């Protein structure tokens, strides 16, 4: 498989997949639990590191499920996603929210200028990318952000939840897993960012972490 055709790039543009995504995220017990865990972790990090209201890029934003975290902090949120089907749902959901806008974009080559955003958030994305593409995407994320980036990664552990996901959810969970030391090494290669924190989402979800990065001046 060529890196440019990694499966997730097409998978989440399929309408049937998007419809199922909404059901999984908000209807079944596992989806609701995961959503709550991710929301709580993001709330903590945003309150700690987003030091003043500003403009946030959430990429890929999907259907905008994490927007409320930023909106509660007075942020202006821009949702970026390559999937038109995801954005259709998100636009309806936030049709009456003046502090939300959307942009179709490919994270490998974003349409935004340098330092367009004060902050950036990204969930459930990097684990779907081959290493070369992951590096390209991180470079773009840093380029368009002025201050703080919060990026979700999945790391290989022996936690029960990780083992469950590897057995029953296979590639949809983390087709390109790495260890925590490998993640630290990968991030350290970028001289224009400072790693402020790598935080586990919760005491039981130890395979999912948030990397909090500060762009160097």
pLDDT tens for 124-148 read: 999 989 999 999 999 999 999 999 9
**Residue 108 sits in which domain range?**
3-215
What pLDDT shows up at residue 48? 97
Give φ, ψ of 154 to 5 degrees. Answer: -110, 135
Contacts of 91 (CB under 8 A, 6+ apart): 102
Comparing 85 with 161, the larger pLDDT belongs to: 85
Cα Rg for the chain, rounded, in angstroms? 16
CA atoms within 13 A on the CB side of 149: 28
- State yes or no: pLDDT of 108 exceeds 90: yes
Give mean pLDDT, residues 57-80.
Answer: 97
- State yes or no: pLDDT of 2 exceeds 60: no
Q: For residue 42, count other CB atoms closer than 10 A to its CB.
A: 21
What pLDDT shows up at residue 87? 95
We report the CATH number of the domain holding residue 113 as 3.40.50.150
Token pair, residue 190, equals 């970028």
- State yes or no: pLDDT of 30 exceeds 80: no
Token pair, residue 28, equals 């079944």
Mean pLDDT of the chain: 87
- State yes or no: pLDDT of 204 exceeds 90: no
Instruction: Let me know: does 186 contact 180? Beta carbons within 8 Å.
Output: no
Upstream peptide bond of 108 is cis (omega within 30 degrees of 0): no
Of residues 188, 83, 206, 181, the one with CA closest to residue 135: 188
Comparing 14 with 169, the larger pLDDT belongs to: 14
Q: How many domains does the chain have?
A: 1
């Amino acid at each position: 498989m060529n890196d440019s055709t990694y499966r997730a790039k097409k998978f989440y543009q399929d309408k049937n997949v998007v419809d199922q995504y909404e059901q999984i995220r908000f209807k079944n017990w596992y989806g609701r639990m995961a959503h709550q865990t991710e929301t709580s972790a993001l709330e903590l990090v945003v309150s700690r590191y987003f030091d003043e209201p500003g403009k946030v890029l959430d990429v890929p934003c999907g259907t905008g499920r994490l927007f409320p975290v930023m909106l509660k902090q007075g942020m202006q949120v821009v949702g970026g996603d390559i999937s038109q089907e995801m954005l259709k749902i998100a636009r309806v959901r936030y049709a009456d929210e003046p502090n939300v806008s959307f942009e179709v974009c490919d994270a490998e080559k974003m349409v935004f200028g340098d330092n367009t955003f004060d902050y950036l958030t990204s969930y459930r994305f990097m684990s779907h990318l081959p290493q070369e593409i992951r590096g390209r995407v991180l470079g773009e994320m840093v380029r368009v952000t002025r201050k703080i980036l919060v990026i979700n990664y999945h790391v290989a552990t022996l936690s029960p939840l990780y083992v469950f996901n590897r057995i029953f959810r296979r590639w949809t969970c983390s087709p390109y897993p790495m260890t925590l030391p490998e993640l630290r090494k990968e991030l350290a290669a970028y001289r224009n960012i400072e790693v402020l924190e790598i935080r586990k989402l919760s005491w039981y979800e130890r395979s999912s972490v948030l990397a909090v990065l500060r762009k160097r001046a």
